[in-house]
Amino acid sequence: MGDVLLKVTDLEIKAGATTIVDRVSFTLDKGRVLGLIGESGAGKSTIGLASLGHTREGLRITGGRAELNGRDILAPASAKARYLTSASVTYVAQSAAAAFNPAHRLIDQVIEATLGHKLMRRSEALARAKSLFGLLGLPDPAHFGDRYPHQASGGQLQRAMTAMALCSSPELIVFDEPTTALDVTTQIDVLAAIKHAIVKTGTAALYISHDLAVVAQVADEILVLRHGRMVERGPVERIFAAPVEVYTKHLVSLRRSEKLLTAGGGNVLLRVSGITAGYAKGVDVLNDVSFDVVRGETLAVVGESGSGKSTLARVITGLLPARSGTLQFEGKSLDPSLTRRDAPTHRNIQIVNQIPDLALNPRQTVEAILSRPLAFYFGLKGSALRAHVSTLLDQIELPSALADRYPAELSGGQKQRICIARALAADPGLIICDEPTSALDPLVADGILDLLMRLQKEAGTSYLFITHDLSIVRSIADSVVVMLGGKVVRSGGKTEVLAPPFDSYTEKLIASVPEMRPGWLDDALAGRGRPGTLER
């Protein structure tokens, strides 16, 4: 191996009393890529930033050292120190959209640091930036930089940010979940671009992600973190082939059980026919969408951001009355507008949102949250009410002690379970699940899905399950609707939809889902027949 670039020893970082990073040590050699993997709260981003000599508001380094080429970069984080470090270590944030200053053109921001450190003359910096744009497969590299952030797509911004990181030809780049915010089909391209660029420039990198499958594609080595502690470290191949720690085993073997198709022939619960809808005076977001949800079954609506799948949920719930088309629930037609629907209808259609934090009123206790629907729909009171609340908590596998907690005092998974319980409380015919797991860590998400499946078995509730993640579809759906740009491109039983012959989009979609094995990326690109070439 080459010589050591970054050496972190016994790094300890605290927020107040709680330890965020607990005695973490690792080294990174020049030109190598180390993947930091772990769920949220594992301290991976903190470590990433620490290796730039930066700690976020409220955090403080309480122990250990980090050396870059033998120079201590944690040493009293003076402006001088950061200045030096910032020249040789750069950062690619999870959301480039937020990380670019909306007020300035991309090119100016890309070359800013380079000029700031007087590494090149402006003309040179510009030239390099453009070549990098090219290298990263951005459209019209010569002029792409003239755009403002809002004029570029998420994928493009993520690459532009990578270009920005590479511009000052640093020795180390820290990638912090660079593709997590992207659609799968975009993610694969950006991933490819990044890998391509790193390889070409031979820059060392720390690649941070919660998604093992993704990290496996770019990293040489993997460091598994949990609760701020190191779990396991090793070459990618070894981690996959022979994981040692239990946690790592879980991560690697995260293969979801295929849902067995329920014996069909159930009658139609919800019939959506010819729905066209859109906001205010805007264009149609949904265009002539039709499908059925069968009683007791799960219909998965698959699509990427902008496909209109969330709008679909709003139309069915009546928050957004459709422009044309009809909804039928249990054979009776549904009034398009929420306010004109009757109580039973309200009760019968419940929703579980994507982000539990936003879905729970921070000023209400769990008890209050769960009691309301019971009181509202069934007029339960007193002991009966309390009893029912605790049964609900049992159903979602939470201790009834949680009843008097506030949402802020719960974990993400627990919050989502509460949301599910709230939906259940109404004893609905249909629950609309809008990406209920996409904001959760893989293992937690898995738990939620199992819960949903179990509840369906017990209560025979139907789900309309909105997701962008095909792997989830496999494990929960009976039938599938694939959406693109507000239209249904493919629908039917799961087996038919997910098996060839494919339409081009569904094929791309399926091909883009990272597989839990090193080297998948190269195969996928090869399969596409256009190695490293990218989204237009």
Partner 1 sequence: MLAAPKGGGLSLWAMLARRLALGLVLLWAVSLVIFAGTQILPGDVASAMLGQQATPAAVASIRQELGLEQPAAVRYVKWLGGAVTGDFGRSYSNRQDIAKSIAPRLKNTLLLAAMAAAIAIPLSIALGIACALTAGSWIDRTIGLVTLSAISLPEFFAGYLLIAYFSVMHLWLPSSATVSEGMSLGQRFVVMLLPCLTLVLAVVGHMMRMTRVALLNVMTSPYIETALLKGLPRSRIVWKHALPNAVSPIVNVVALNLAYLVVGVVVVEVIFVYPGMGQYLVDHVAKRDVPVVQATGLVFAAIYILLNIAADMISVIANPRLRHPR
Partner 2 sequence: MSRLPPLTPLAVIGFFGAAAFILLAGFAPWLAPHPVSEVVGGVWEPPSADALLGTDNIGRDLFSRLVWGARVTFAIAALATALAFLLGVSLGFYAAVRRGWVDQLLSRLNDLLMAIPTLIFALVVLAVLPKTMIVLVLVMAILEATRVFRVSRAIAADLVVLDYVEVARLRGESWRWVILREILPNALSPLLAELGLRFAFSILFLSTLSFLGLGVQPPIADWGSLVKENKDGLLFGVFAALIPGAAIAILVICINLVVDWMLQKTTSLKRGRRDG
Positions touching partner 2 (CB under 8 A) are 317-319, 338, 341, 343, 346-347, 349-351, 353, 355, 358-364, 372-373, 376-377, 406, 408, 422, 426
The least distance separating partner 1 from the CB of residue 207, rounded to whole angstroms, comes to: 17
Exactly one of 45, 46, 51, 90 binds partner 1 (CB under 8 A); which one? 90
Tokens of 436: 């209920």
Q: Which among 94-102, 192-200, 421-429, 463-471 is the span making contact with partner 1, rule CB under 8 A?
A: 94-102
Judge contact between 262 and 455, C-beta under 8 A. no
**Is residue 535 part of the contact set for partner 1 (CB under 8 A)?**
no
Q: Which helix (H) or strand (E) holds 298?
A: strand 298-302
Residue type for position 154: G
Q: Which helix (H) or strand (E) holds 292?
A: strand 284-294
Cβ proximity to partner 2, 11 vs 360, nearer residue: 360
The least distance separating partner 2 from the CB of residue 378, rounded to whole angstroms, comes to: 12
The least distance separating partner 1 from the CB of residue 85, rounded to whole angstroms, comes to: 7
**Is residue 485 part of the contact set for partner 1 (CB under 8 A)?**
no
Q: Which does 103 bind (CB under 5 to 8 A by kind): partner 1, partner 2, none?
A: partner 1
**By CB under 8 A, how many residues form the interface with partner 1?**
30
Judge contact between 94 and 157, C-beta under 8 A. no
Tell me how far the alpha carbon of residue 198 is from its chain's centroid.
23
Tokens of 252: 């690697």
The residues, ordered by sequence, that sit 6+ positions from 203 with a Cβ below 8 Å of its Cβ are 31, 166, 169, 170, 171, 172, 173
The residues, ordered by sequence, that sit 6+ positions from 240 with a Cβ below 8 Å of its Cβ are 216, 252, 516, 517, 518
**Is residue 116 part of the contact set for partner 1 (CB under 8 A)?**
yes
Cβ proximity to partner 2, 159 vs 422, nearer residue: 422
Q: CA dihedral defined by 50, 54, 57, 61, rounded to 10 degrees?
A: 50
Residue 14, exposed/middle/buried by CB under 10 A (0-12, 13-18, 19+)? middle
Residue 343, exposed/middle/buried by CB under 10 A (0-12, 13-18, 19+)? exposed
Q: Which among 11-19, 49-57, 385-393, 490-498 is the span making contact with partner 1, rule CB under 8 A?
A: 49-57
Q: Which does 472 bind (CB under 5 to 8 A by kind): partner 2, partner 1, none?
A: none
Exactly one of 102, 382, 501, 529 binds partner 1 (CB under 8 A); which one? 102
**Is residue 101 part of the contact set for partner 1 (CB under 8 A)?**
yes
The residues, ordered by sequence, that sit 6+ positions from 16 with a Cβ below 8 Å of its Cβ are 58
The least distance separating partner 1 from the CB of residue 148, rounded to whole angstroms, comes to: 5
What phi and psi, each to the nearest 5 degrees, are found at residue 219? -85, 150
**Is residue 113 part of the contact set for partner 1 (CB under 8 A)?**
yes
DSSP notation for 355-374:
-HHHHS-TTS-HHHHHHHHH
Q: Which does 337 bind (CB under 5 to 8 A by kind): partner 1, partner 2, none?
A: none
The least distance separating partner 2 from the CB of residue 346, rounded to whole angstroms, comes to: 4
Q: Which does 227 bind (CB under 5 to 8 A by kind): partner 2, partner 1, none?
A: none
Q: What interhelical angle do 382-395 and 366-378 show, nearest 10?
A: 120
Q: Which does 163 bind (CB under 5 to 8 A by kind): partner 2, partner 1, none?
A: none
The least distance separating partner 2 from the CB of residue 183, rounded to whole angstroms, comes to: 22
**Is residue 279 part of the contact set for partner 1 (CB under 8 A)?**
no
The least distance separating partner 1 from the CB of residue 359, rounded to whole angstroms, comes to: 24
Q: Give the footprint of partner 1 on residues 132-171 (CB under 8 A).
A: 148, 150-151
Three-state secondary structure string covering 387-441: HHHHHHHHHCCCCHHHHHCCHHHCCHHHHHHHHHHHHHHCCCCEEEEECCCCCCC
Q: Which does 406 bind (CB under 5 to 8 A by kind): partner 2, partner 1, none?
A: partner 2
Q: Which does 331 bind (CB under 5 to 8 A by kind): partner 1, partner 2, none?
A: none
Cβ proximity to partner 2, 333 vs 361, nearer residue: 361
Binding positions for partner 1, rule: CB under 8 A: 49, 52, 54, 56, 79, 82-87, 90-91, 93, 95, 98-104, 109, 112-113, 116-117, 148, 150-151
